[in-house]
Amino acid sequence: MASQNRSYVEHVAWQGFTALRQGCNWLVLPDGLCVEILPVTGNSVAAALAIDPRA
């Protein structure tokens, strides 16, 4: 998650990441992994951290 998506995307672009057609917050890393950068809103960080990945 990023509080300022646009500045984050501009920062990683020079490192070889490219945006997908889904939007500038979807990136392809140099090794081919696709990730989505989510905006921070309200308590979204706390909610994401509360998820138990082993549940």
Q: What is the pLDDT of residue 13?
A: 67
What are the C-alpha distances in Å from 8 to residues 26, 37, 50, 55?
Answer: 11, 9, 24, 31
Q: For 1-55, how does the pLDDT look when each residue is reduced to its tens digit (9 = 90+)? A: 555 556 666 677 667 788 888 887 788 888 899 988 877 788 888 888 899 888 7
Q: What is the pLDDT of residue 33?
A: 92
Distance between the two ends of the chain, CA-based, in angstroms? 22
Q: What is the pLDDT of residue 34?
A: 92
